[in-house]
Chain A
Amino acid sequence: MSPEQTNLLQGTLDMVILKALRLGEMHGLGISRRIEQISQGTFVVKSGSLFPALRRMQEEGWISSAWGESETNRRAKYYRLTKAGVKQLEEETAKWERIVLGISRTLEAS
């Protein structure tokens, strides 16, 4: 892990995964690479965190899954956002923005 890489804040992994899936259905590795890409290498999601999170979110009803074929004709499980997932992403994003704003104000003060 390079020095620039950072662990995701607890509780934010779900949000990041939902954000990645916003663009369309994707398999596990795809999600992982997508997150690396959009965070420009800041976040690396390990399989040991990714799959349990996918599982959990599926059970919450935020995402759904189906087996399909990859671009190289390999079997893979694809995930997509559900309506509840879209709503969840919106809420989490709003909440996150509130927190960021709050922290920025706190740090700027004094």
Chain B
Amino acid sequence: MGADCAWDLADSGGVVTKKRKLRWLSRAVSFFRNVTGRQKDELDIAAEVSAHLDLLIEEKLRSGMKPDEAERAAQIELGGVEQVKEQVRDARTGEWLDALARDCRFALRISRKNSGFTAIVVLTLALGIAANTTVLSWISATLLNPIPGVAHTRDLVTVDRGDRSGYATPPFSYPDLRDLSERTQTFAGLLGYHDDYMSLTGVAKPERIYGALTTANYFDLLGVRPILGRTFLPEEGTPRGGSAVIVIGYAVWQNHFAGDPQIVGKTIQINRHPYTVIGVAPRDFTGCKTGLRTDLWIPLLMDRDVWGSNRPDYRGVVWLNALGKLRAGVTKNQAEAELNLLMQGIVERFPEDHRDRSNEISLDPLWRSPFGINGYLYKILPMLLGLAGVLLLLACANVASLLLVRSVGRRREIAIRQGMGASRKQIIRQFLIESLLLGLLGGTAAIAITVWTSRSLIAFFPPSSLPLTNDAHVDQRVLFVTIAVSVLGAIIFGILPALRSSSTPVQSVLKEEATSVSLTLHKSRLLSGLVVAQISLSLVLLVCAGLFTRSLQKAQQSDPGFEANHLLLASYELSPAGYTRATGVAFNRQVLDRLSALPGVESVTLADFSPLSFSIHSDYLQIEGYVPQPHEWMEISRAIVGPNYFRTLRTSVISGREFTEADSPESQLVAVVNQAFVDRYWPGGNAIGKQVTDGRDRFTIVGVAHNAKYRLLTSPTEPVIYLPMYQAFRPTQDTTIHLRTTGDPRTIAPSVEETIHQLNRELPLFNVNPLSVTMQLGTLFGRVAATFAGSFGLLAMLLAAVGIYGVVAYSTRQRAREIGIRMALGAEKGGIYRLVLDQGLRLILAGLVVGTALAVAFTRLLKAQLFGVSETDAITFASVGLLLAVVALVACHIPARRATRVDPMVALRHE
């Protein structure tokens, strides 16, 4: 009958419960005694076992054995003093805790003793983990926490309408959004907002602050409670009931009103209109568009006062972003279907107002909302996290190979422990605890690194006209994942060496010489596999890095259609300063006159946007001779530019002419279009003389310009229409000076500011920067990807090189005797060199082959993010492979050279 046939002797009945309780009490007392009275207990066990042995010997003697015979027999019957003691210890309650403490102490001692080894492993892990936690801290701050200050965003969705291939523009008119939110059954509420710069006036130094016009339910729907005062009342959102009230952000309250506790009820000026402050928003809350900071909130129907327009009155004017809160139990698809149905009804009732744009409504969770920064980040950050994950895997493989090599040196120690009665389970536990210690040390170091690197995303943002914000930091989520990753990583890199070293039979280790054991290791498939894994993973990362870098280069080298160097930009806004259309045009004329007279200025012009900074506007156009498809999106990029714009930007005019001083409100209304416009709407035809209307005015085309990119360098050129500044000027939009200089554009900035100041003392000039700086925004995401993929790739290559060096150097050292014999038998140095190098070369080649296969599979995922390079770009693959091969060969060359210097006599005597 086998001992493993266990019987289920489970009790049943109520008596047991009481007894169990007593038993637990007894065990708890024992546990406490075992944990506290450790030393006394040890002595007790030892005394009992040795007393037992004495009794046994005495018994044998009495039965007539000779003393030495009796002792031997007693020993055999007992079965080993240490083993019995160990078995008793295992039976103790709370033994696991004790064993754990012992293993931890031992692990600490081991890592202190090998401080060099520990440092390398911890550094490797720290870098691998930090790469992940850095990216994660960004994901946490943007995709997972889309509205700072609002904890529950899972039931919130952004509402978009129309063609999704273009740039996301606000989807709704006020009447449409109002109708939708009154009728919807699937949403607990729909809020609308329009964000733009406002000017805080009536203070010593007027300042532009990004603010939002919102529906009255804005704060209530988001669940944001003011820290002072109140938010909007429902009646403050009704037509004509819109009152001049404002909620200010915490930063505005602190910076402009010194945290005045009496601020509620006071009057402040926005765009020269008085508003009563009714509340202060909490510190964290900066609006609901991820990545953009809003600091002022005004009821939407105050639009007339703030911007002097009547946008809320028109069903055809789309200017509002919408956010909805789904009712409990409603899915996104149900809500989408319902909104589409409602929208269809609205379109049928007002077909005139809904012709220009597709009326298809789509909902997005906030993490991939097309509005704000998440629309870009949700494609890049998970990809970077994937790359960081590969790096971590590589770091684990690296550490595993180091531990494996080291475990050979510990074979004897392990064999002795086994001889002393340690079970396989105990050995594995010991190894895993050591790995865990290394993992947690690495994790701690990674947190320290991440505290610093999490802020690095903001460093990629150039000075720009957008109020970009990013508050990535090490939060709870990041901490939790770091710990989890450290533990998981420790198990991954610790389990292989643990299993391997615990499985060797004791006798073979104790009998054989250390070298012969390691001879089996240098042929070990496991170790070779780890090296191959490191090389192939680093190839994957290097290929990704190479592709991103080339893609960025291509983008930066691509012709944007204008000449960015030697251009200074500076902006001002005329409407808050009290200018009208007529006085504004006059002021702009003066600005151009004065600035063109400055020394060092080649030419100067004005525009209502600047290239590659997401600031170009758009308009709905009807184009002569072009019949739009039903619901074709006819919102086209529209630039309002001054005389000499094309000359100053060095964008060539292909046919016709560019704008001059003569294009004034009194003359014929004219326009210039770009080549892409002509190709799209008048393919093959002549554009000059054709007409275009925005519904109000009719413009005659007088010129065709070369294509220029104004949004992202990496997106295809799109149609653009240019209108002359003096005819189409709108004081409510920023005016940006474009100044071409002969020297460094920065040096002329002070005299530009001085000139504007002379013209109007009250007018603030903002965003004074060279174009070459601000246009960095156009490659922001490409630079983030290239920089991080690049550093991951270099790190990976370094790790792989250290990995292969370590393994080849180690096995060469262990083969010293073999090499000595070979040399003693007359092998030449070249032969020895090749012998060692061959080993490395095989691993490198295998790594390159596996890595190429992996990379081909992996880079397919990057396709959408690449510009101008194929995801299987042969040049990248070849050059990266070559680079890696050379670095790895150099890593093998060092031990190979050392092998040729082996002195046969020393090597043989060493045994």
Measured CB to CB, the residues of A under 8 A from B are 6-7, 9-11, 27-29, 46-49, 51-53, 55-56, 58-61, 70, 72, 74-77, 84, 91, 95, 99
Residues of B109-164 at the interface with A, using a CB-CB cut-off of 8 Å, are none
Residues of B1-52 at the interface with A, using a CB-CB cut-off of 8 Å, are 1-7, 9, 11, 22-23, 26-27, 30, 47-49, 51-52
| A72 in contact with B26 (CB, 8 Å) | no
| A27 in contact with B55 (CB, 8 Å) | yes
| B22 in contact with A61 (CB, 8 Å) | yes
| B77 is an interface residue with CB less than 8 A from chain A | yes
| B185 is an interface residue with CB less than 8 A from chain A | no
| A29 in contact with B5 (CB, 8 Å) | no
Which of the 9-residue segments B78-86, B560-568, B737-745 touches chain A? B78-86
| A61 in contact with B26 (CB, 8 Å) | yes
| B9 in contact with A28 (CB, 8 Å) | no
| A60 in contact with B26 (CB, 8 Å) | yes
| A51 in contact with B87 (CB, 8 Å) | yes
Q: Which A residue sits closest to B421, measured CB to CB?
A: A48
B95 to chain A, nearest CB (A): 10
Q: A61-B22, A74-B58 are in contact. Are A48 and B5 (CB under 8 A)?
A: no
Chain A residues with Cβ below 8 Å from B49 are 47, 51
Chain B residues with Cβ below 8 Å from A7 are 1-3
Q: Which A residue sits closest to B44, measured CB to CB?
A: A77
Chain A residues with Cβ below 8 Å from B906 are none
Give the interface size bracket for B toward A. 35 or more
Chain A residues with Cβ below 8 Å from B48 are 28, 51, 77
| B51 in contact with A76 (CB, 8 Å) | yes
A2 to chain B, nearest CB (A): 14
Q: Which B residue sits closest to A65, measured CB to CB?
A: B48
| B92 in contact with A70 (CB, 8 Å) | no
| B91 is an interface residue with CB less than 8 A from chain A | yes
Q: A46-B79, A48-B87, A52-B87 are in contact. Are A11 and B6 (CB under 8 A)?
A: yes
| B78 in contact with A75 (CB, 8 Å) | no
| B196 is an interface residue with CB less than 8 A from chain A | no
Indicate the member of B56, B83, B91 with the most A CB atoms within 10 Å. B91
| B22 in contact with A84 (CB, 8 Å) | yes
| A10 in contact with B4 (CB, 8 Å) | yes
Give bound CA distance, A10 to B23, whole Å: 20
Chain B residues with Cβ below 8 Å from A51 are 48-49, 52, 84, 87-88, 91
Q: Which B residue sits closest to A10, measured CB to CB?
A: B6
Give bound CA distance, A44 to B47, whole Å: 23
Chain A residues with Cβ below 8 Å from B814 are none
Give bound CA distance, A9 to B1, whole Å: 8
Q: Which B residue sits closest to A82, measured CB to CB?
A: B26
| A10 in contact with B27 (CB, 8 Å) | no
Instruction: Kindly supply a per-residue 1/0 record for chain B positions 90-104, scoring 1 wherever the CB is within 8 Å of any chain A CB and 0 otherwise.
Output: 111100000000000
Can you name 8 A-B residue pairings with CB atoms under 8 Å? A9-B3, A10-B3, A27-B52, A27-B55, A47-B79, A49-B87, A61-B22, A74-B51
Chain A residues with Cβ below 8 Å from B838 are none
Tell me which of B2, B4, B30 contacts A59 (CB under 8 A): B30
| B619 is an interface residue with CB less than 8 A from chain A | no
B94 to chain A, nearest CB (A): 9
B458 to chain A, nearest CB (A): 59
| B59 is an interface residue with CB less than 8 A from chain A | yes
B269 to chain A, nearest CB (A): 80
Tell me which of A46, A48, A55, A70 contacts B55 (CB under 8 A): A70
| B30 in contact with A47 (CB, 8 Å) | no
Tell me which of A6, A9, A29 contacts B56 (CB under 8 A): A29
| A59 in contact with B93 (CB, 8 Å) | yes
A47 to chain B, nearest CB (A): 5
Q: A11-B6, A61-B22, A77-B48 are in contact. Are A48 and B83 (CB under 8 A)?
A: yes
| A29 in contact with B79 (CB, 8 Å) | no
Give bound CA distance, A21 to B56, whole Å: 19
| B6 in contact with A29 (CB, 8 Å) | no
| B52 in contact with A29 (CB, 8 Å) | yes
Additional 14 contacts, C-beta under 8 A, given A6-B1, A10-B7, A75-B51: A10-B3, A10-B6, A11-B6, A27-B52, A27-B55, A29-B52, A51-B52, A52-B87, A52-B91, A59-B91, A75-B47, A76-B52, A76-B55, A99-B7
Give bound CA distance, A70 to B51, whole Å: 10
Chain B residues with Cβ below 8 Å from A6 are 1
| B78 in contact with A47 (CB, 8 Å) | yes
| A55 in contact with B54 (CB, 8 Å) | no
| A52 in contact with B51 (CB, 8 Å) | no
Give bound CA distance, A70 to B62, whole Å: 15
B3 to chain A, nearest CB (A): 5
Give bound CA distance, A61 to B28, whole Å: 11
Give bound CA distance, A59 to B95, whole Å: 12
Q: Which B residue sits closest to A87, measured CB to CB?
A: B19
Chain A residues with Cβ below 8 Å from B56 are 29
Chain A residues with Cβ below 8 Å from B30 are 58-59
